[in-house]
A and B are shown apart, each in its own frame.
Chain A
């Protein structure tokens, strides 16, 4: 299923059947929005523009590197790296 691949989800056959049916049901229900005339209506992606808050863009203390690495499933803490399976050849 192309969508599962895009979402990086490995699904088994029963899951693919179930989700395909359920997503079909949900989209059928969500299709109600198609009846609304939205000609010339701007989309609302965020409400932040109503009250944007800024701060000076200055460097400040942040999370320590060791602390950031200590939650990782696999890390080379001394070298300061997260470790992942081999990517290149």
Chain B
């Protein structure tokens, strides 16, 4: 069910009934998917029953009685919040993230915390300390990362909406690989207070949903300034659902053709071209745009994000919260705590970040990357003087097999080639389902990924800063003419 359908079900039956259904689905399917780190069944039922007891109070609340999954790197008061790390395995936050309070104020019912890559570092959900999430469309494949549990939960119809966070594609890429909608808002559109920090100049919270309408509805609840986050903007928040007119006549869509020559699976580029034809048929104008520095975005991203991560993760020292290893000396305690508390990918990134920030390498790597970041950003500003949105695939490949790329960090990082630019530039971006692999196909990358049919493909649209309305309008218009989002994965349809 979508949020809209759930709201009707809550009115017709009850929030408790709807919540019990969601919990039953989770109990049945989560053992196969590993999408949840924690399920709070009793708390969710109590909350749903409380909503049922006060129908007048909740009548107009946009999410009243809607079961919601929250990525496990967002703090939830009284609910274990692990960031999928041994470091925080038993951490129970004393406060709620602002996005969590806002969802609850809107009537949302939190049912659990979703698995993700450790500290949101990864592209496949394989770095989680609690095991990989499995893709509902093919259980031997990755769901994408880092919000893989959130994407799998929505794709498998466990909840109609899940919160994710996106530092380099972590909402959009799993949304694409699991066949759901994923929205990364403009940097500063949504509060980061209570989001466990990965890279503070890039991180943003956003929803994963079945439909674009549901993403717009959720953004209405999440967006807006927050006194607890100085980086959260005071820009006015429009009603994003009102923007969904279906009208894209005269809308200019830019396509960075040169960038796409970097290597895109043949089925992915075919699906993207077909999607653009749909928008063209609705009256949109397709134009080529030049983003000469976008090809440097991935190396820039890995230099900037690891530098920020090495600084942010310095706080995990075994003193104030989280895991502590025993040692006689303070420095020994720090080093052992961090050695045992962090997994390999997190250690790798802390090391890389520490290196690029160290004396002698700072200018050559960190400063240089920040300068190239300026050029990436300017390319987009120039493009958006001419077009309303920029379109490209979300991921160069459909979901790969679990274990296929995890041993080679550079190969894994290349999965992020089309998503990191939006974070470096602070732009809003959305991934919408635009087809399935037909397979057996021939991949330009020599990969086995598309040799199997039925894997979801995502179209990514990027927009101007704080212009989520246009982004959502174009995505919704596309969705109106296609039925990708209504198809359930075989895991459910075979049952």
Interface residues of A (CB under 8 A from B): 3-11, 15, 19, 22-23, 25-27, 29-34, 36, 38, 41-48, 50-55, 63-64, 67-68, 70-74, 82, 84-87
Provide the main secondary structure of the chain A interface.
Answer: loop
- By CB atoms of chain B within 10 A, which of A29, A51, A74 has the most? A51
Given known A10-B338, A36-B296, A52-B230, contact A73–B322 (CB-CB < 8 A): yes
Give the Cβ gap from B118 to chain A, nearest Cβ, in Å. 15
Kindly provide the distance from the CB of B367 to the nearest chain A CB, expressed in whole angstroms: 6
Residues of A within 8 A of B245 (CB): none
Contact check, B321 vs A33: say whether CB atoms are below 8 A apart: no
Of A3, A30, A43, A73, the contact of B354 (CB 8 Å cutoff): A3
B252 within 8 A of A: no
Assess whether B371 is in contact with A43, with CB atoms less than 8 Å apart: yes
Q: A63-B95, A71-B94 are in contact. Are A8 and B335 (CB under 8 A)?
A: yes
Find chain A residues with CB under 8 A from B92 CB: 71
Report B389 CB to chain A, min CB distance, Å.
19
Extra contacts, 9 of them, besides A3-B351, A44-B370, A63-B95 (Cβ < 8 A), are A3-B354, A29-B302, A29-B413, A41-B371, A42-B374, A53-B230, A71-B92, A71-B320, A86-B330
B330 x A85 contact (CB < 8 A): yes
Contacts of A46 in B (CB 8 A): 201, 231
Q: Give Cα A62–Cα B257 distance, bound, in whole angstroms.
A: 51
Question: In the complex, are the beta carbons of B94 and A9 less than 8 A apart?
Answer: no
> Does B261 interact with chain A (Cβ within 8 Å)?
no
State in angstroms the CA–CA spacing of A9 and B355 once bound together: 13
Q: Name the B residues within 8 Å of A70 (CB-CB).
A: 94
A36 pairs with B293, CB closer than 8 A: yes
Interface string of B316-342 (1 = CB under 8 A from A): 011111111001111111111011001
Q: Is B25 an interface residue (CB 8 A)?
A: no
A19–B373 CB distance below 8 A? no
Given contacts A33-B303, A43-B374, A44-B374, contact A11 B330 (CB under 8 A): no
Q: Kindly list chain B residues whose C-beta atoms are within 8 Å of the C-beta of A23.
A: 348, 351-352, 355
Contact of B188 among A26, A48, A64 (CB under 8 A): A48
The reply to whether A3 and B319 form a contact with Cβ atoms under 8 Å apart is: no
Residues of B with C-beta under 8 A to A8: 314, 317, 331, 334-335, 338
Does residue B280 face the partner (Cβ distance < 8 Å to A)?
Answer: no
Does B491 interact with chain A (Cβ within 8 Å)?
no
State whether B409 touches A73 (Cβ < 8 A): no
Judged by a CB distance under 8 angstroms, whether B91 is at the interface is yes
User: Would you call B339 and A11 a contact (CB within 8 A)?
Assistant: yes
A82 to B315, CA, bound (A): 14
> Closest Cβ of chain A: how far from B379's Cβ, in Å?
12
Residues of A within 8 A of B187 (CB): 47
